Amino acid sequence: MFDFKKWVPHQWKTKMPDDWGWETHSGHAYKDIKEAYARGEVTKNDVIEFEIKNRESIEQREFRWKQYHQMKEAEQQQIKDFQGWKSHGKSWLGRILDQGRHFTKWWWTRPKKSVGKGKMKQSSITGGWSQEYVPDKTRSVRDWLQAASHGEAFKGKNNFNPDTLKMNKPTPEMQRKSDEAKKERQRQKWELIMTETDNFGRGWHGIDRSAPGRGGGKPKQVRVTFSDKRVYKGKEKTAKTKTKK
């Protein structure tokens, strides 16, 4: 049967599709503005404007597609070569050499263990090697707690800081993340109450978002409704001003 794909020009294979996504640079700032949008501090239009302003160029997008496609083709070729060697052995290696291509000795050579006690296992598809995870010998809870109190519970582990086990209070970074998570939980709880009570029976077309029973000395909590999903059912609208002629 005629295989048309074998005769397709290479540049056709690597042509970038129209639905290939864009990458946004400034990752930390992008994360911050998305979190601000989740808290209701910015609008969706602000997020879209940030994405357009900080996204990759057209050349970078096309290069990323070609790089992805070529890596995928290389992986498929590796699978094909390994399966050919498994089926035909030395004759397949001779054919590869005649074509001026290269092969790897790791198809039949077991690499040494880098660390740990796990066995090295070879993939039956790609021929790549990986080491299975084998946990350390278990110890009793009492012995583990005693070792932890001296900072020796994970002694010998790579990139482990024993001072972590001796902490008696959270670090400023841990406290900051905890405070942000607490605020987010409170916001979600308040939004749920507002939605279930239909803004305490007032509806959504007004700007009053105050809780009942606030007393006379506490100011009202208001919110502009131009981008409120409960008002416009998920469709953002912008305010329009009329000028007198």
Domain count, the chain: 3
Domain range for 152 is 139-168
Domain boundary among 84, 105, 126: 105
Query: 129 by DSSP, 3-state: which?
Result: strand
Q: Which of 43-47, 85-89, 158-162 has the lowest mean pLDDT?
A: 158-162
Q: Are residues 57 and 86 in the same domain?
A: yes
CA distances from 149 to 65, 152, 200 (A): 51, 8, 52
Q: Cα–Cα distance between 141 and 179 in angstroms, integer? A: 32
224 falls within a domain: yes
Q: Are residues 19 and 86 in the same domain?
A: yes
Q: Cα–Cα distance between 242 and 134 in angstroms, integer? A: 72
1 falls within a domain: no
Phi, psi (5° rounding) for residue 119?
Answer: -80, 150
CA distances from 226 to 37, 63, 119, 220, 235 (A): 15, 40, 61, 19, 10
Q: CA neighbours within 13 Å on the CB side: how many for 111?
A: 16
Q: Give the per-residue pLDDT at 200.
A: 82
121 falls within a domain: no
Q: Which of 10-19, 135-144, 187-196, 236-245 has the lowest mean pLDDT?
A: 236-245
Q: Give the per-residue pLDDT at 243.
A: 42
Q: Cα–Cα distance between 119 and 139 in angstroms, integer? A: 22
Q: Cα–Cα distance between 192 and 199 in angstroms, integer? A: 10
Q: Evaluate if residue 240 carries a pLDDT over 50.
A: no
Kindly state the average pLDDT of the residues 215-234. Answer: 67
111 falls within a domain: no
- Give the helix/strand (H/E) hosting 131: strand 129-131
Cα angle value 45/234/219 (rounded, 5°):
80
Q: Evaluate if residue 158 carries a pLDDT over 70.
A: no
Q: Are residues 35 and 64 in the same domain?
A: yes
Kindly state the average pLDDT of the residues 134-146. Answer: 72
Q: Which residues of 205-214 are buried (b: 16+ CB within 10 A; e: fewer)?
A: eeeebeeeee
22 falls within a domain: yes
Q: Are residues 213 and 160 in the same domain?
A: no
89 falls in which pLDDT band (50, 70, 90)? Answer: confident
Q: Are residues 145 and 94 in the same domain?
A: no
Q: Are residues 145 and 181 in the same domain?
A: no
Q: Are residues 30 and 92 in the same domain?
A: yes
CB 83 within 8 A of CB 96: no
Q: Cα–Cα distance between 30 and 42 in angstroms, integer? A: 13
CA distances from 135 to 132, 149, 154 (A): 10, 21, 12
Q: Are residues 180 and 154 in the same domain?
A: no
